Structure 1
Amino acid sequence: MPTTVTPQSTAKTTRTVAKAAAPLTSTARKMPAQKAAAKKAPAAKKPAMKPAVTKAAKAAAPEKIKTTKKPKLVRDSFTMPKDEYQAIETLKQRATGLQRIAKKSELLRAGIMALSAMDDKDLLAILAKVPALKTGRPMKA
C-alpha cells in the first residue's frame, strides 16, 4: 500500500527530527540508572548539635517582643434616618471641641461599647426608642 504524504505528516516528522537534533540538557544527560540510584540513596543525616547557652547568656539576651494580631476588619453598609446621621456629625464636632478628632466609625464603635456595657434592662429600654426601618436601599427621590 503506498503511503501518502500530507502536510500534517511532514510537520510531525520535522518536529521529531528537531527533537532528536536538540542538544541534551543536564537532566537529560543522566542515565536512567543514575537517576534511580540518586532517588534511592538517602542523604546522610548528621546529628544536629545545639550550641551551649549558659544561664547568664539567657538572662542577658533581649526578650522577644510579643506581637498581638490585628483584629480582622469587616466592611458593612446600612441605612439610617437623616436626623440620626446628622447626630453623628454633631458628635464629631463635639469631639473636635474637646480636642479629640473622631471619625464616624470611631463614634459608632464607641456606641457599641456603651451598649455592651449596659445591663439588659437598660439595653431593652434604649432599643425600644429606636424605630424599626425598612431594610434595603432607600428609594431615589
Structure 2
Amino acid sequence: MTKKMFDNVKVRSTVAQQDVALEDRFDKADSILLKAPEPASAPAPTLRKTSVIRDTFSMPPDDYARIEELRIIANKEGRSSTSKSEVVRAGLQALGLLNSQQLVEALNRLEKLVPGRKS
C-alpha cells in the first residue's frame, strides 16, 4: 500500500469515526466500572489500624442469642469467624442507614432495661 492510499479523505474519515466510536465505548465502560458506589451501600472496610474502645453493656438473653444466630448465618454463607463485635458494629452501620424517624421507631421497639442490673 502506498502513502497516497492513506492520504485518501475517506480513509481518514473512517479512521476518525472509528476513533470516536472507540472512545465512546471506553467512556461507557468507564462509567460502569468506575461508577461511584450507591449512597445506601455500606462503606468499604478500612485496612488501617485504629485504636479500639472496650466497653460493657447489658442485653436480654434473646438479643445475645440473636448475635450468635447471626454469626452462624454469616458462617454458613462463607464468612469465616465473625465476632460478636463485628455483628454489633454491622448493626450500627445498618441503623445509620435509617432516617431519624425509622431509627426512633426501631429504638422504641426495644425492651427497656434497668442499667447494670441482672434480672
Which bracket does the TM-score occupy, shorter chain normalised? 0.5 to 0.7
Scaled by the length of structure 2, the TM-score of the pair is 0.56
Match of 1:124 among 97, 100, 104: 104
Q: Does 1:108 align with 2:88?
A: yes
**Aligned partners of 1:118 and 1:94: how far apart in 2?**
23
Give how far 1:137 is off: 4.1
Q: Secondary structure at the match of 2:62?
A: helix
Q: Does 1:84 align with 2:84?
A: no
The AA in structure 1 aligned to 2:53 is V
In the TM superposition, what whole-angstrom CA distance separates every residue of 1:62-99 from its partner, at most 9, and x where no partner exists? xxxxxx86322100011111111000110010000000
The AA in structure 2 aligned to 1:89 is E
Q: Secondary structure at the match of 2:115?
A: coil
RMSD of Structure 2 on Structure 1 (CA): 1.6
Unaligned runs of 5+ in 1: 1-67
Q: Does 1:138 align with 2:115?
A: no
Q: How does 1:1-141 map to 2 (within 5 A)?
A: 70-101=49-80, 102-138=82-118
Structure number with bigger Rg: 1
